[in-house]
Chains A and B, each alone.
Chain A
Amino acid sequence: MVTDLYPLYNSLRIAAISCVIVFFTGIFAAYYAARLPRVLKGILDVILTLPMVLPPTVCGYFLLLIFGARRPVGMFLADLGLKLVMNWPGGVAAAVVVAFPLMYRTARGAFESFDENLAWSGQTLGLSNTWIFWHVRMRSCRQGILAGTVLAFARALGEYGATSMLIGYTPGRTATVSTTVYQLWRTNDEQGAFFWVMVNLAISAVVLLAVNLLERRRKNGA
């Protein structure tokens, strides 16, 4: 019987924090990318979506290049007391990079189908752009944005490649659900591995169910 639930706690913590970060950065990137000139938009689109198609280990490699203990950014963050490599916050960095494109692309799709007349009519009524953004645009696009958030959360929760490169596996410190599955399997603890596989399956099923429900509501309108 598995008694140490630390990996679940750590995974949820990493996924939740990175999901919040990705939610805001993804939405704002999508919002501003939508109003860029075509060429610039295309270039930005490639850069922002790249982590989705790259092997996570490649993302991990780049993250180590940036946040490594002897790299400028890494040393700067270490001075601020934030150590990412071989430490759980590094898992957040890995999850953010890998989950960001999912949020960005779904939000952009939602924003692109938004009727710009609504924003314009709000402006001519004297409403502020911030108010219009939160009360009209976001409300109008909420199904797509919610779906993107759920997908990003699921991706962050299941992140393995970049995570294992950046923070490795230390029981009780950096272990996540996905790294634990691999570690337990490698050490012949089949029962333990099976337990965490089931946890993973359960979470993924719930997430997909949620996405499907959201999509159905969007199709039905209102």
Chain B
Amino acid sequence: MALEVNVEKQAGSFHLHASFTCEKEFLGLLGASGSGKSMTLKCIAGIEKPDCGRIVLDGRVLFDSEQKINLPPRQRRVGYLFQNYALFPDMTARQNILCGLHAEKDRQKREKRADEIMELLQIRDVATLKPWQLSGGQAQRTALGRILVNEPELLMLDEPFAALDTHLRLKLQMELKDLLSGYDRGIIMVTHDRDEAFRMCDRIGVIDQGQMLAVKETRELFADPGSRAVASITGCKNIAYARKTGKHEVFVPEWNVYLKTEKTVRDELKAVGIRAHSFHPEEQENRFSVTIVREMEEPFEWVSEFVYEGQAPASPAVWWRYSKAFRLSEQPGALGVSTDEVLLLY
């Protein structure tokens, strides 16, 4: 199983260039809204037509601008879970699932298969309800069931949790991950939520203003984003211009500090990033005097803004988050950052 995508599309002033592959894995496409994530999925599904490029699924050419191949959506065998689930509003949950089984001519087999998937997804109780009577989770599972019985060769999920309440989201993410763990085809999930992407995906592609910035294994992407844009999309709060001063040392003018780094610094260094969680009062590496300027309390964490002792006057304060389990008797006078948590951005 392999999907190869390399397409370009111009829409007004927006230019999309999507280039990646997806094996038998859970691949995330992470980016802000309007970055071209959904358009990429629509190109793969055949709903949008790219201007040029090539899409191949399992050796089957779905789109090729040079060979003038553009299969219609219904011949692509690509499952697409829409953000609003797109259940047919005038049909019951069960009828919706039967729609995915239209290719099966034997009525009894069709009914049996629908019963099986509804059992698996635990939606038998709501079989006779219309989509508007379903809860967000039930609607999601019904839509997923409708796609799974259709046996697509690739599953695409478009912001599958965006329509759900926050407290439900985590539960459904766990359930969906569990459910799809035995799925033996490729899955692509589009999301703007970095936590969600981290929880669900084996690999993540970061997309910004239509451009694929990086496609990496999830942990690696967060540990070493490699560029300003990727660092920022993966949630790095503190990014500042920096220059190389040694093989393992950089100078950050805004903060007026020299930081030691675990990784070797390359000459073309542009900036460094430090995640808000990376600062620690007891860390001895990269330890500098700081002054806390603002503090805000969250249920389980403190969020602070601080400035370094010699920090440039106009530069933005630095974000620091720490668990209340470490709540200190007084505000720390200095904070350190472990050398492996200084992100080198090029």
**Chain A residues at the B interface, C-beta cutoff of 8 Å:** 115, 117-118, 120-128, 131, 135-136, 139-140, 221-222
Contact = CB atoms under 8 A, between A and B. Distances in A.
Interface string B130-150: 101000000000010011001
9 contacts: A115-B86, A120-B86, A121-B80, A121-B143, A123-B74, A126-B74, A127-B102, A128-B74, A139-B90
Contacts of A122: 88, 99
Interface in B76-128: 76-80, 82, 84, 86, 88-90, 99-100, 102-103
A136 B78 CA distance: 20
Contact of B45 (A120, A131, A136): A120
Given A140-B90, A222-B130, A126 B102 contact: yes
A118 B132 contact: no
Nearest to B156: A124
Interface string B58-89: 00000000000000111111111010101011
A38 to B, nearest CB: 13
A124 to B, nearest CB: 4
Question: Top 10 nearest A-B pairs by Cβ distance?
Answer: A121-B86, A123-B73, A117-B86, A124-B80, A126-B74, A139-B90, A117-B82, A120-B47, A124-B73, A123-B74
B76 A124 contact: yes
A127 B99 contact: yes
B79 A124 contact: yes
A73 B48 CA distance: 43
A51 to B, nearest CB: 33
Nearest to A135: B88
Determine the interface band of chain B, counting residues with CB < 8 A from chain A: 20 to 34
B78 A125 contact: no
A140 B89 CA distance: 7
A122 B88 CA distance: 9
Given A124-B152, A125-B74, A126-B102, 8 more contacts: A121-B80, A122-B88, A124-B73, A124-B74, A126-B75, A136-B90, A139-B88, A221-B132
A125 B146 contact: yes
Contacts of B146: 125
A221 B133 CA distance: 12
Contacts of A121: 80, 82, 86, 143
Interface in B21-47: 42, 45-47
A125 B90 contact: no
A123 B130 CA distance: 21
> Taking chain A's interface residues, is the majority helix, strand, or loop, or is none over half, making it mixed?
helix
Contacts of A131: 102
Given A221-B132, A222-B130, A126 B77 contact: yes
B99 A123 contact: no
A121 B102 CA distance: 14
A126 B71 CA distance: 12
Which of B77, B80, B99, B150 counts the most chain A CB atoms within 10 A? Answer: B99
Given A118-B86, A118-B88, A221-B132, A124 B45 contact: yes
A127 B74 contact: yes
A115 B73 CA distance: 17
A159 B146 CA distance: 49
A136 to B, nearest CB: 5
B15 to A, nearest CB: 21
Given A125-B146, A126-B102, A221-B132, A120 B90 contact: no
A105 B10 CA distance: 32
Contacts of B86: 115, 117-118, 120-121
B78 A124 contact: yes
B233 to A, nearest CB: 26
Contacts of B45: 120, 124
A115 B102 contact: no
A83 B121 CA distance: 64
Contacts of A221: 132
B132 A222 contact: yes
A120 B82 contact: yes
Nearest to A221: B132
B132 to A, nearest CB: 7
B118 to A, nearest CB: 17
Contacts of B99: 122, 125, 127
A126 B90 contact: no
Residue of A127, A128, A131 with highest tally of chain B CB at under 10 A = A127
Nearest to B76: A124
Contact of B47 (A123, A136, A140, A222): A123
Nearest to A131: B102
Contacts of B147: 124-125
Q: Which of A117, A121, A123, A135 has the most CB of B within 10 A?
A: A121
B200 to A, nearest CB: 21
A115 B86 CA distance: 8
A118 B89 CA distance: 9
Contacts of B88: 118, 122, 135-136, 139-140
A117 B84 contact: yes
B12 to A, nearest CB: 13
Contacts of A118: 86, 88-89
